[in-house]
Structure formats: structure tokens, C-alpha cells
Structure 1
């Protein structure tokens, strides 16, 4: 499988824990996100745990290369490659949404590369993606066609499609001044046609049978209490794929890390701190 070389930001701890030099945390964003969404939490975890934190851009997002294939086996292979290229051992994976399914797929496929993981508001199940994502792409294509020069113009086009200002700002974080234009026009850096095609199977999970494959190391599943992504009925399946799992509910919607960063920080630190 052709992999792409992932762009990343490395957040180094002020006082590294000696035996954790090569045992990093790798943080993965969700659909339409990028490494810059995880800058704050990455810095905080580096500080509090004394570990190096790599915030990566998954393929077709942020500064990472574009590729026609956009599914979980491909994204997991990219991250596996990243771990090998950087000579990392005992990595902790933290992923939100699409990043969570990428982490889960990688842990099941190549458990030797992963020490433990934190899956934020997603689970190892097939679900239909909400229609809001298709709506966002429709709006983003409109913005691209409008040759906007200011974010406020883009926001006006997006508003009828998404009422929440926070979600609109998150999506518009993908705009940049395109080098091939007049230097003023803003375009989306994510490849909208590729992601539009991928939407139908981004709700899928590549592993179907926990009788065939399991991850026997610690896994933390974090749910937003106001989110529908991890309903109670999927908890038994989580336990079959990830028998050493813990579940934490955090007062938040789907965007758990940005909506309730302190509760998320505490849950992750409790999970990752060395057990006596």
C-alpha cells in the first residue's frame, strides 16, 4: 500500500522523563481537522507527562500530501510508517473521531507498534456518517468557487449550512491563500473531491470480527455525553476488540477536547500515569 509522509509538529517536554525519550504520544485529528487543532492539548500533555508529543496531519489534511485513497487501512499505514521512520517505541496513540478510528485500526493491525491508546468519541463499529459532513463539503465547494479574499465572506456562505460559529471557524481553519492565484484569493487546502468520495465509507471500520483480532493492551475510550457517536449498545463490541478498555464520559458534544479540555486532560493523565 502506498503511504504518504505525514507532516507533524513535535512538542517537547520542558523536563523529559528519561526512559520516555522514544516513547512518544502521537495525536491525530478528525475529519477536516489538522495538527494545529491539537496544539494546546499536545503542549499540555508534553508538560504534564514529560513525554514527546507528535501532532500529525493525516493524509489529505493540513500540510500532509494528498492521495486519492482515503480510508482507515491507508491512514493507519501512514501512521505505522511514521512510527518506524522516527524510530519510535511504545507509542501512545490519541485520536479524535476519524483519528480515533485510525488509531483503533492501527492498534489491531500492528499491535507491536502501540503501547496503549486513547480513542476520543468514536468506536470500532460501522456507522453512517451524519449528513452534516456532506453538507459541509457542499458549502466548502461553494466557497472555493466564490474566490473569497476574506474569511468573513466565506463565513457568510457557510452560515446557512452550519449554525454553530465554533464549527464554522473549525472548518474555515482549512482556508489558505492559494499560491497559484493572485495571492489574495483563499481556497481550501483539503482536497474536497477526494474527501467527498471518501465520505460514504468513513463511517466504516475495517475489522469486523473480534474473534479474529484483538488488542490486548490498555485502551481508553472517551465519550462526549451530548454526542451520539458511542452509544451504550456498542460497549460490548468495544470490550471484545479491546478487552483491557476503560470508558470515561466527559460533559461535552462530539468536539470533546476543545469543549472540555480540562476534563479531557485529567482523564488522559489518569490513564497514562505510571501505575504503582
Structure 2
């Protein structure tokens, strides 16, 4: 790996993480009962919208799936998908997760159902030896898939998130409130929407990102968000959780790359021991960016992914 990478040996510190804590505390002792998380099967999986980037048919290697973060869509990953298809000669499936982009909506939104949808996508399209890449919400989704069903992918790349229960940044509830205000305002233009959203999302790039979800259902109707804002607002606690909390019961022994932004708090040094227990073959790369690694530093992210995957060949 490049000089930005730190190859870490497996870490088996006897640690678990309490819900919504940025620290890993709670040691396992003696013969105490193991902590387990109950899984439930959803009533049905949803078909996922996607774009296939295959470098004009020249990309014929093992497939790569790339999953966006909360409030995002496959369109956010269009440029990086094209670049990776070209550099790696591998087809890239950029996916819209449920309740995002052009995929179907459902009131249930947690990492178990997100994983089930993606596993069904892999099966439907007969995708073998896939690499799963995910940012933020997508990162926890690919981690969940890897721990639920280690045989369904060759390796994973988790971008700026860790396999812990940890509170989301306080910005996310503000974004939701701002989007609600936009819809209540029955705005007719992006400019109106931006003005309403500004107090809730002061950074222009963030507002532009959120407003990519704004659509006009018909010429006579006001603008509205194509994502189900209320459903996702109700899912914020689930997005902070992680559905595994015992590395002795679930472990992914295949290669895993964790990419974190140098100015982001989502993958602190304190989370590294638990990452090492769930993913004993993990590597870590720091990319100069905040939480939005792929959009803030696409070249740094591209280099990290290409070097990691070329090592696996």
C-alpha cells in the first residue's frame, strides 16, 4: 500500500461497545453470557435500481458493487465508478439502496434489510467473487453483509464508518428537519429550497448534495424530495446502530480495507481494536478529507482502492 496506508495486524482486545458511545469499553469476562443481536427476516426484499459501468464493455473482471451513504444515490458515485471500471477492468454496479434514488420505498430501514436487499441483488445478477464498497450507511451495510454471509463476497471496502454502535453526527437530524421545512414550504424552485435549508445545513456543498434529491412530480406541483424523509428520520437511530456486537460469533476472515477521512470522527483510533476482531485481515488507509471521502478527495480514494484490489490479484 501507499505511505498513507497503515497495515494493521489482527487485534484481539477483549472489548465490546455500548450503544451510542464513541468509546469501546465493556470488557468480556469469565463465563458471562455472550452478547448477541437477534436478526429478523424482512417480509420481502426490494429490487434495487443500479447503473452498470463497464468501460464500454472492456471491463470483464470480477464485479464491484458500490453503495452510497444516507441521503445519497448511485449518481453520487458515477465518476468514481467510471474511473475504477477503467483502472481495474472490472464492471462496477452503482446501486441505489432502498428508500434512496430510484429504488423502492419501504417503512423498514435498518442494516439487516439493507443487507438482505443487496444479497438478493448479488444472487439475482449472479455476481460471484464480488468486491463490496460502501460509504457511511453503505459501509455499515457491506460490513453487515460480510459478517452475515462471508462467502458472498471476496473482500470489502468500508469508507468512513466502523462496526460499532455510535451516535450519528448531530448534523443529520438537522438535515432531516431542514428537508421537512422545504416540503412544508411547497417551494417552486431550487433557490427557494436552498434558502429554507441554509439554517439547517450551512455548508453549500452539503445543501447541494441534499438538494439532488429534490424533484418536481409534475409541472403543476411544488418540488418535493424523492426520498421518504419521514421514514429516514425515523431510521436515524437504526443508522447509528450496528447489528453485530460479538466478534466471537461473527467474523470476516477475508481481506477488508477501511478508508477513513483524516478530518472525520467516524473511525477513531479507539474503534480499531473492534475492527480487528470482526475483520482480522483489515488494512487501514487515511485519506485527506472529512466524512465525504469520495467526493472530497476522489483521487486519494481511487488510489487507495486500486492499490488494495491490485494486491489481491
TM-score bracket, shorter-length normalisation = over 0.9
| Deviation (angstroms), 1:273 | 1.0
Any conservation in 2 of the 1:119–1:220 contact (CA below 8 Å)?
Answer: yes
* Deviations 1:51-97, CA, capped at 9 Å, x for gaps: 11000000000000000100000000000000000011001000000
Q: How does 1:78-97 map to 2 (within 5 A)?
A: 78-97=117-136
| Deviation (angstroms), 1:274 | 4.8
Secondary structure of the corresponding residue to residue 93 of structure 1: strand
How many pairs does the alignment contain?
271
1:207 to 225, 244, 247: 244
Residue 147 of structure 1 pairs with residue 186 of structure 2: yes
Any conservation in 1 of the 2:59–2:91 contact (CA below 8 Å)?
Answer: no
Residue 43 of structure 1 pairs with residue 43 of structure 2: no
1:10 corresponding residue in structure 2: 52
2:149 to 110, 113, 122: 110
1:68 to 91, 101, 107: 107
Residue 220 of structure 1 pairs with residue 281 of structure 2: no
- Larger RCO of the pair (alpha carbons < 8 Å, separation 6+): 2
Residue 128 of structure 1 pairs with residue 155 of structure 2: no
1:24 to 48, 63, 66: 63
Secondary structure of the corresponding residue to residue 161 of structure 1: coil
Structure 2 CA distance, aligned partners of 1:178 and 1:196?
Answer: 22
| Deviation (angstroms), 1:17 | 5.3
Residue 242 of structure 1 pairs with residue 284 of structure 2: no
1:182 to 205, 214, 220: 220
2:309 corresponding residue in structure 1: 272
Structure 2 CA distance, aligned partners of 1:274 and 1:238?
Answer: 21
1:165 to 204, 207, 210: 204
* Deviations 1:223-261, CA, capped at 9 Å, x for gaps: 000000000001010000000000000110000001111
Q: Which runs of 5+ in 1 are unaligned?
A: none
2:92 corresponding residue in structure 1: 53
Task: Calculate the aligned-residue CA RMSD, in Å.
Answer: 1.2
Instruction: Give the TM-score normalised by the residue count of structure 1.
Output: 0.96
2:295 to 238, 255, 258: 258
Any conservation in 1 of the 2:64–2:133 contact (CA below 8 Å)?
Answer: yes
Any conservation in 2 of the 1:15–1:50 contact (CA below 8 Å)?
Answer: no
- Structure 1 stretches of 4+ with a deviation exceeding 4 A read none
Structure 2 CA distance, aligned partners of 1:244 and 1:230?
Answer: 17
Instruction: Give the TM-score normalised by the residue count of structure 2.
Output: 0.85
Secondary structure of the corresponding residue to residue 94 of structure 1: strand
Structure 2 CA distance, aligned partners of 1:269 and 1:200?
Answer: 33
Q: Which runs of 5+ in 2 are unaligned?
A: 1-41
Instruction: Kindly name which structure, 1 or 2, has the bigger radius of gyration based on alpha carbons.
Output: 2
Structure 2 CA distance, aligned partners of 1:49 and 1:67?
Answer: 35
Structure 1 CA distance, aligned partners of 2:237 and 2:196?
Answer: 24
